Amino acid sequence: MTPLYRDTRFTFRFADDRCVHRFHLEGVAAGRRVTVYRLDPATGEPLERIAAGHAGADGWVELREPLVVRGGEGFIAVAEGDTLVRDETPADHVAVRGVVRAAFGHDDEADLVDALRAGGFVRAAFVAEVNGEVVGHVLFTRLPVETADGVVETLALAPMAVAPEWQRRGVGSDLIHAALAACRERGHRAVVVLGHVEYYPRFGFSSALAERLRSPFPGPHFMALELVPGALDGVEGKVCYAPPFGVD
């Protein structure tokens, strides 16, 4: 069985109806657990988990129950230990709260996530899964910049959290890289973050790029990133955080 399309996450998409009993993963060691996610036909992104299995010595993954896949649809297979980044769904909210609370050691940031969702301020949210478990989360909210010429739309990246036992293992980097790429693909032009000066520049964030943005958080920790080159050229004004952040 050869997929019509496959990327490094082992994405399979089929032109006709299939009843899939097994599939082949090249380069995956025998015995590794494989989690299978339904593919969004419109975006190509992973949705809910639909099956699991283990890679055999020859790379074939045998399924206990066959997957019925309609023409034009497909699935994504992720090997044990690999990070899958996908859009947050309502079914993730309890797990996300647990991750955020554990990462920060208190409820404040978890409460902030809930308030931003409830207020309709969220523009994108993503989770990182390892072995089918949510271990990371990042949220992007609307952050308008009020300039003399009108409002320029940007995003605020906050908060970002990784479960303590998964920190310093590359999960956060995978999450941010994938989330920023998705935001770019969806037409967003710039992102602002208040974060560690040793961490966020590796993704392209710059305090110099944010110098003309008036913020309640001035200093080197306040950084910006252009998802589209030149998106912040000549932009000077006040950033307006959503009310749940509690700043003017």
- pTM flag (> 0.85): no
Q: Give residue 23's pLDDT.
A: 95
Domain ranges of the chain: 11-80, 85-245
Domain spanning 85-245 has what CATH number?
3.40.630.30
3 state DSSP class of 162:
strand
Q: What is the DSSP letter of 28?
A: P
Q: How far from the centroid of its chain's Cα atoms is residue 113's Cα? A: 15
Q: Give residue 17's pLDDT.
A: 96
Q: 108-118 and 93-104 helices cross at what angle (nearest 10)?
A: 140
- The string of pLDDT tens digits covering residues 113-160 is 999 999 999 999 999 998 889 999 999 999 999 999 999 999 999 999
Residue from 50, 86, 48, 44 nearest 68 by CA:
50
* 59 phi-psi bin (left φ>0, alpha ψ -120 to 50, beta other): left
Mean pLDDT by 10 residues, the chain (248 residues): 50 93 90 90 86 91 93 91 90 97 97 98 95 94 97 98 94 93 96 96 96 94 97 97 92
